[in-house]
Amino acid sequence: MPRVSPSLPLSLLAIAFGASGALPAFSQPQPPAPAAARKEGPVTRRATGTFEVVLAPQATEAGAGVARMSIAKQLHGELEATSKGEMLASSTSVKGSAGYVAIEHVTGTLHGQEGTFVLQHTGTMTRGAPSLAVTVVPDSGTGRLTGLSGTMAIRIEDGKHFYDFEYSIATAP
């Protein structure tokens, strides 16, 4: 279970760590291109698993209502990795409205391919309605993960954290 600052609003944690239990959709599927217009490209794959996260409050000079946290994760499953990152979060005077951004550097193996990459989080909660996008920063992959792109969904079920990572790895041009 994440360790968090008591002042960090629960609604913000719901955004950051998918407490709704539902797997959010980050992009709408597009209809297939006509056969003549299709180009062969990287195959989209899916990696799933669990993770543990520790959030630790950090000092910030951003002002009232803004919190800064360090992030440390251990990911298990088809992505075996560790990550370290930073999160900035803000709540408002309106109950259920908040936002956060985060960057985390991931080091490990993805379906046996070793390397590193960076994830960018953008989350908002508008009067209780969450929106979350976790995206691989373009061209951040190294090692066997060079060319990695994708999105990650995060959810919590019965206090346990899960990830669902849709990704592809392009070959160098």
What is the three-state SS of the chain? CCCCCCCCCHHHHHHHHCCCCCCCCCCCCCCCCCHHHCCCCCCCEEEEEEEEEEEEEECCCCCCCEEEEEEEEEEEECEEEEEEEEEEEEECCCCCCEEEEEEEEEEEEECCEEEEEEEEEEEEEECCEEEEEEEECCCCCCHHHCCEEEEEEEEEECCEEEEEEEEEECCCC
User: Tell me, what's the pLDDT at 172?
Assistant: 63
Residue 98: partners with Cβ closer than 8 Å, 6 or more residues away: 9, 11, 12, 15, 89, 90, 91, 92, 124, 125
Distance (Å, whole) CA 122 – CA 124: 7
Across residues 130-154, what is the average pLDDT? Answer: 97
Tell whether the torsion through CA atoms of 89, 98, 116 and 106 is positive or negative: positive
What pLDDT, on a 0 to 100 scale, did the predictor assign at position 10?
43
User: Which stretch of 11-15, 102-106, 138-142 has the lowest confidence by average pLDDT?
Assistant: 11-15
Question: With 80 as the cut, is the pLDDT of residue 76 above it?
Answer: yes
**Closest residue by Cα to residue 79 from 145, 127, 160:** 145
Residue 40: pLDDT above 90?
Answer: no
Domain 10-21+44-169: CATH superfamily, name plus number: SO1590-like (2.40.350.10)
Average pLDDT over residues 116-141: 96
Q: Decide: 130 and 20 in contact? Cβ < 8 Å.
A: yes
pLDDT for res 9: 45
Check pLDDT > 80 for residue 93.
yes
In the predicted structure, residue 17 carries a pLDDT above the cut 70: no
Per-domain residue ranges of the chain:
10-21+44-169
Whole-prediction pTM: 0.78
For residue 23, pLDDT beyond 50: no
Mean per-residue pLDDT, 25-34:
40
Beta carbons within 10 angstroms of residue 131's beta carbon: 13
